[in-house]
Amino acid sequence: MITNIEDLRVLAERRVPRMFYDYADSGSWSETTYRANVSDFNDLKFRQRVAINMENRSLKTTMAGQDAAMPVAIAPCGMTGMQRADGEILAARAAEQFGVPFTLSTMSIASIEDVAANTSKPFWFQLYVMKDRGFVNDLIDRAKAAKCSALVLTLDLQILGQRHKDLKNGLSAPPKLTLPNIVNMMTKPGWCMGMLGTRRRTFGNIVGHVKGVENMSSLSAWTAQQFDPALSWDDVQWIKDKWGGKLILKGIMDPEDAQLAMRSGADALIVSNHGGRQLDGAASSIAALPGVIEAVGDGIEVHMDGGVRSGQDVLRAVALGARGVYIGRPVLYGLGAMGGEGVSKCLELIHKELDITMALCGQTDIRKVGRQILLPRS
């Protein structure tokens, strides 16, 4: 019986090849920030209230102007389609049915056009800034053509953090067929059958859309030198002007950067350390959230991601001032465990936990939740 996100994680670990499970469930270097993202939520204790009318509860809110059944969006995750065949499409459909935003990664397996063709409502698109500005320009145009309702610009991947497990596993898409990888995949027959039954096995937003990139060899050579260490706020302005729609800036951890993000004219920012996959030794996202909130006040909508594993974590983030949170790994666990049904289960679990915890804290409307539900820190 699946009763929490950990149950989905355990099942995914059994069903997904090691190299792709490790990609989802790991951080950079010694993984201290990756672990802190999860553990630091536990420092925030709830005030339990009693004899308060808990009827007619509502978790409905908006994130960047879009209605949401709860203050949760699905985070952009690279190679989601390697956790389960057609993973991005399955996750997008589950999010659409549940009523929460879905964010497609630049480094997805299914392309923007693929996801748009297999869903009926607008989704969000996450953009990495590459040195090839022509490609970036075309990618924005493709997101517009697919009627994406928000652009999520990631600012914290100018240089790739070292992830030891990925290096040891020889991670790639499609996977390198080393003997250990072949042996491990043979123990995951359901995953193998799914991948054999789909045409989506490479980076759909890139292959065929960049001159000279037509196969995995040329793709690897191109991506190895494309992330742009010279990315600046001038580029943010160019992208904002080019996009012309809702813009969300992802990767803000410092109050000074938060103020710059606010002055950029973006519609929202995401407090995020890339799931602990970039700067190991940085603060957890939940620890950084109050400082960012204080720095921007009501000047820009603030979201957060990193370490959310339950509805209780969602409520803690909202209590500290976040309009909403993003979930990445819980969705990947759900996909790896049970496909699209697993993503729906993940969302149902978080919704139920959030609803019950909010009620036991004496609140009935998520939009009115604040620090009043938390005990003062000792």
Q: Report the catalytic residues.
A: 274
- Contacts of 33-36 with C-beta under 8 Å, sequence gap 24+, read 33/273, 33/276, 33/279, 33/280, 33/281, 33/282, 33/283, 33/284, 34/275, 34/276, 34/277, 34/280, 35/276, 36/276, 36/283, 36/284, 36/287, 36/307
**Integer Cα distance of 176 and 344 in angstroms:** 31
Residue 67: phi and psi, rounded to 5, are -60, 140
Residue 268: phi and psi, rounded to 5, are -160, 160
DSSP code for 362 = T
**Integer Cα distance of 80 and 92 in angstroms:** 11
- Choose among 320, 300, 295: nearest CA to 370: 320
**Integer Cα distance of 59 and 72 in angstroms:** 10
- Do 132 and 138 meet the contact criterion of CB atoms below 8 Å apart? no
Residue 80: both structure tokens together: 């989601």
Q: DSSP secondary structure string, 112-132? A: HHHHHHT-SS--EEEE--BS-
Start-to-end CA distance of the chain, whole Å, equals 38
Q: DSSP secondary structure string, 39-92? A: HGGGG--B----SS---S-B--EEETTEEESSSEEEPP-TTGGGTSTTHHHHHH
**Integer Cα distance of 91 and 102 in angstroms:** 8
What 3-state DSSP class applies to 222? helix
- CA dist list (Å): 22 to 189, 196, 336: 18, 21, 12
